[in-house]
Amino acid sequence: MKVLKVLFTLFFASSFPDPGYVQDLKDMSFVDILRLYEDTSRLSAVRENDVKFFIFNRGVEGVQQYHGSSDKIDHQKDTKILVHGWLNNRKITWYKNVTEAFLAREDCNVIQVDWNRVARSAYISAAVGTKAVGQQIADFIMSSDLDTARIHIIGHSLGAHIAGFAGKALKRHNKVLSRITGLDPAGPYFGIFWQHPEERLNKDDALIVDSIHTDGGKYGVDFALGTLDIVVNGGYSPQPGCIESFGMVTTLGEALGQGFCSHARATYYFLEWMNGGSFVCMMCPHWNSAPADCQKRLKLENNLDGTITGICRATTNKHAPYLS
């Protein structure tokens, strides 16, 4: 049974390109994994109650908020909105870590978006559903009367494109987000460079659209799509410290962690970046520019103001702390 579970899970995991669910899958029973497979096999429309919002600030912890109700949100403070990727929910570790880091650093609102029911569907279904999820986030922002000039949305993988769709929906109402950060925006379905920018995250979705690229051409896109694109360690897998080979693994958790390590690494880089770490960048004209073509060297901190644009090629350490 253990061998069957490992083989089934490796096949299942390799079929769907988002690593965020690794922390959940490795602890699942075989029955749980079968149930998850059944969930991913359905295709259905996105309903309003499929997207949930949980509010955190220094006076509120994890209270669910509904459309049109904003009594737990402090409108005098900046708001950070977190959007997870495929097969995840709000219990994912990076949500907890980033929420705690934001609240330790500043007195703000953090909204954790949980689109779990849509995320637990076949990848193509979840990818198509990102537009509707983004619309619901925009609707929530407007019904809660939040100031878009004080909103920063952070999305990982499919969540990055959801953030983009939220930005597009708000712009149709003449409202512009302050910032979107895409953490290795998902490549499959979205990673076709000739695909129209309106069908994915793009540089016009907020005043500042920055992306951290770690697994281009595999689970992430391999082209620039923001006002600032941080191409880390070449932008491709394996990232330093990620050994994407199953030759030496002894547990299911190791296998899953290695297979999706590079795609997930963007969340770790972002956490260090917002906690005071810096990317040491060479500004380049193109994604694959030769080092000789990259001229300006700078230390990139997280407090972006929109003056730095283009493609930043950066390197990291192999193990934490990753940034300088």
**Residues involved in catalysis:** 157, 184, 263
Q: How far is CA 292 from CA 99, 133, 230, 283, in A?
A: 39, 42, 18, 11
Report the alpha-carbon distance of residue 121 to residue 227 in Å, rounded.
31
DSSP string, 77-121: S-EEEEE--TT--TTSHHHHHHHHHHHHHSS-EEEEEE-HHHHSS
Q: Do 230 and 279 touch, CB atoms closer than 8 A? A: yes
Q: How far is CA 294 from CA 48, 64, 235, 280, 302, in A?
A: 47, 47, 15, 13, 21
Handedness of CA 164, 141, 89, 34 (dihedral sign): negative
Question: E strand or H helix at 209, and its extent?
Answer: strand 206-213
Residue 179's nearest CA partner among 108, 260, 93 is: 108
Report the alpha-carbon distance of residue 288 to residue 308 in Å, rounded.
19
Backbone angles phi, psi at 267, to 5 degrees: -70, -35
